[in-house]
Structure 1
Amino acid sequence: MGLDVDTNSVTSELQRLARANRNVETKAMKTVAQKVADQLSVNTPLGRYNDAHLREHIVVGTPKDGEIQVGYDKEVSWRVHFAELGTIKQRPQNFVQRTAESMQQDIISMLEEEIRRGLGL
């Protein structure tokens, strides 16, 4: 005597939930990354180089494998470290590090809130 169980409906439902969770995670990461970019913009100094402010070149990447990058575009990224780490004639300003440290706990709580909202919890 045996029992046959049809798991096709369970499997398809699990696959649907997995897709929905990925979509929720992606949306939450984009939302939180934009908030980090906004704070980075506030913390970025107003230096000038070829009439381009660093804070006008902050970009948010595309989520991939549970990660998303926030930083500066290729036009100005090569010179961010001069202001961040300093030079012989300029003291370090640490605006990127300061932003990362100040938002570390906020990022976790914002991600949690966005995911809960997306899942309807």
Structure 2
Amino acid sequence: MSVEVDTGGVDEVLKKMARQSDKVNREAVMTAAKYVAERLEENTPYEDESKYRSWNEQFKLENENGQEHKKFKHMKDDVHVSVGRDGTATVGYGHDTYWRVHFVETGTMRTGGMVDKSGKRHWGAGIEGQHFIERTTQETKDVAFDLMAKKIKKAFGL
């Protein structure tokens, strides 16, 4: 006695679930990443005075070389989200500001200063780190996982 089992329908269902799983995973990750990006934007420090003080030397250099002044983006305005095909997300800063972020995040050391032509030593002030990326990571971890879990449960009817 033999029994034949047709698994054609099961294979199709499994293939459909696998395709749906990748799509659902990307959507869940994107939802969580957008939430983290919003919180990062909120936590990013903002100093409006920099256009008058911090970029002064850059403006002088551009004036001396006959260049137009560059418009500098603020870190708050340059938060980006990208989701890869492998289902991972990256939340961070764009090309215009990424190089500045670590100064504000971790701070700078007070350096030994420099000696001017007269032999006088000038000490660097340094800045204290604000750790806003670290704080955002800690604040959003649990909520991000919850958002992904809800999205996945809803997609599969769980």
Same fold (TM over 0.5): yes
Question: Deviations 1:43-66 (Å, cap 9, x if unpaired)?
Answer: 001144653110111000123323
| Identical-pair percentage | 33
Does residue 1:3 correspond to 2:15, yes or no?
A: no
Amino acid at match of 1:41: E
Question: Deviations 1:61-85 (Å, cap 9, x if unpaired)?
Answer: 1233231110011221111101001
Higher gyration radius (CA): 2
Give the structure, 1 or 2, with the largest relative contact order (CA under 8 Å, sep 6 or more).
Answer: 2
Match of 1:102 among 139, 145, 150: 139
Aligned to 2:44: 44
Q: Alignment length, in residue pairs?
A: 121
Match of 1:57 among 73, 78, 88: 78
Asked if the contact 1:30–1:63 (Cα under 8 Å) also holds between the matched residues in 2, the reply is no
Gaps of 5+ in 1: none
Asked if the contact 1:29–1:63 (Cα under 8 Å) also holds between the matched residues in 2, the reply is no
Q: Residues 1-121 of structure 1 correspond to what in structure 2 (within 5 A)? A: 1-47=1-47, 48=50, 50-88=71-109, 89-121=126-158
Q: 2:19, 2:5 → 1: CA distance?
A: 24
Asked if the contact 2:40–2:133 (Cα under 8 Å) also holds between the matched residues in 1, the reply is yes
Amino acid at match of 1:86: G
Q: 1:107, 1:31 → 2: CA distance?
A: 8
Worse overlay, 103-112 or 49-58: 49-58
Aligned to 2:62: none
Asked if the contact 2:24–2:155 (Cα under 8 Å) also holds between the matched residues in 1, the reply is yes
**Root-mean-square deviation over aligned CA pairs:** 1.6
Amino acid at match of 2:134: Q
Amino acid at match of 1:43: N
TM, length-normalised to structure 2 = 0.71
Amino acid at match of 1:92: G
Worse overlay, 35-44 or 71-80: 71-80
